[in-house]
Amino acid sequence: MPYTFAPASAASQPLFLIEAAGATDFIAGRATAEQRWLAAAGFTGRLGQFVLLPALDGAPAAAVFGMGDAVARRRGRFHVAKAVEQLPDGDWHVATDLPPAAAEEAALCALLSAYRFGRYKTASASKARLKAPAGVDARRLEIIAASEALTRDLINTPASDMGPDELEAAMAALAADCGATLSVIRGEELLTRNFPMIHAVGRASPRAPRLLDLRWGSEGPALTLVGKGVCFDTGGLNIKPSSGMSLMKKDMGGAATVMGLARSIMKLGLKLRLRVLVPAVENSVAGNAFRPKDVLTSRKGLTVEVNDTDAEGRLVLGDALALADEEKPDLLISMATLTGAARVAVGPDLAPFYADDDQVAGAIAAGGTGVADPVWRMPFWSPYESVIEPEIADLDNAPGFGFAGSITAALFLRRFVTDSPRYVHFDIYGWQPTAAPARPKGGVGQGARALLAAMPEMLGL
């Protein structure tokens, strides 16, 4: 499905975006017949109101959409998507002057409204297309929308068709499309190459665990992205209940999100040296599965007591982060669907992140606000370090603290980053639980657009 704007030269019909405070003046400025039509429809500019204005022959001549007021708009985002989804087929243009950020959000949500996951069932989207509003970088937004669609497709695909083999194939296709290189370490080679925790988590599955390593770019600052690629998580021997397993196809949402972000970076041609690491595994139950109370020795040399085999994501990320840290990139970012505690803390709509560097954290927060990709900074709270230190090993993968589960997981990961100057960790959900404007129920990217917007400040691009 193409994520493109209507050509600027195409004939198009106007879409008016009218705030409640300006509704009376807007109506007064229309022709008498349209005034009567809007009055009959009860149009007041309330957020979400949609009215088609007919021509004399009955065909749609224009559309009017209520934008409410600032208080109403703060209760959601991508409001213009509701208008785009109701437009008749054809090409349209926004006929209202918008501030730059609002114009960009309107344009992006028009593109994202076209997303449908149609691999297993025919899913039709509106054929209405919007022109890019004046001043908007149309190519950039088209790239971002297509990258978000990649992330959604990967998360939405069930584990039967998105295991470690298929995730590797998706990474290979991304590399080929963007001129990157990909190397893969699979199966028993993980042990000989010193990735013992990735191997331990994935060894019980008939689909071999692996580490995917994509590289792109030869100049500029070094950026390494690490994404959790647990293609399905049964919980291992600490098996999840059926209710906890129902959404575990999305446990590779961190991998899907960094792949979407990497696609945007490469397609936009940012001047940096990019590396993407994805430990791709399936956490299964079998006779050779790793066990509670096993002690694993990580690539970093740190020993880890396994107190819950369902806390496997931080294990595979630990080995991948250790490898990333050996190169000391200018910025190291991990993204993972890591803890339920993060959802308890901030719900499904916010992407919590951790960063010790205030300048980096500020750039990410500002970037998220500017591109309607909400994020929230959480603390690397060092006083909790003792919580993740058991008696018989350096680290505990599932401390019985009972509090601050997302923070202690982030502290666990930070132990594997000792040499890189700046590290950021995102504990995302990767799932839209109910349909919302431009976000159908299902897989969704979180934090990627915020990070992309923050790249110039974080890396001096």
Residues 240, 267, 273, 377: which is the catalytic one?
240
Average model confidence (pLDDT) across the chain? 96
Predicted local distance difference test score (pLDDT) of residue 355: 98
Phi, psi of 183 (to 5 degrees): -120, 150
DSSP state of 240: P
Of 17, 19, 38, 41, nearest to 27 by C-alpha is: 38
Q: Which CATH class is domain 142-459?
A: alpha beta
Three-class secondary structure of residue 274 per DSSP: strand
pTM of the full structure: 0.96
Residues 249, 263, 314, 422: which is the catalytic one?
314
Q: Compute the distance between CA of residue 393 and CA of residue 279 in angstroms, rounded to an integer.
A: 23
Over residues 440-446, the mean pLDDT reads 97
Q: What is the DSSP string of 366-433?
A: HHHHHTT--EEEE---GGGGGGG--SSSSEESS-TT-S-HHHHHHHHHHTT-SS-S-EEEEE---EES
Predicted local distance difference test score (pLDDT) of residue 124: 78
Arch. (CATH architecture) of 13-114: 3-Layer(aba) Sandwich (3.40)
- Other CB atoms within 10 A of residue 370 CB: 16
| pLDDT grade for 68, boundaries at 50, 70 and 90 | very high
Contact partners, residue 362, CB within 8 Å, separation at least 6? none
Of the candidate ranges 103-117, 219-233, 264-278, the one whose mean pLDDT is the lowest:
103-117
Predicted local distance difference test score (pLDDT) of residue 382: 97
pLDDT in tens, 361-401: 999 999 999 999 999 999 999 999 999 999 999 999 999 99
pLDDT in tens, 120-169: 998 777 789 999 999 999 999 999 999 999 999 999 999 999 999 999 99
271 in active site: no
240 in active site: yes
Predicted local distance difference test score (pLDDT) of residue 239: 97
Q: Where are the alpha helices (DSSP H) in 210-252?
A: 242-245
Domain chopping of the chain, boundaries: 13-114, 142-459
Over residues 79-98, the mean pLDDT reads 94
pLDDT in tens, 296-351: 999 999 999 999 999 999 999 999 999 999 999 999 999 999 999 999 999 999 99
Q: Is the pLDDT of residue 1 over 70?
A: no
Predicted local distance difference test score (pLDDT) of residue 108: 95
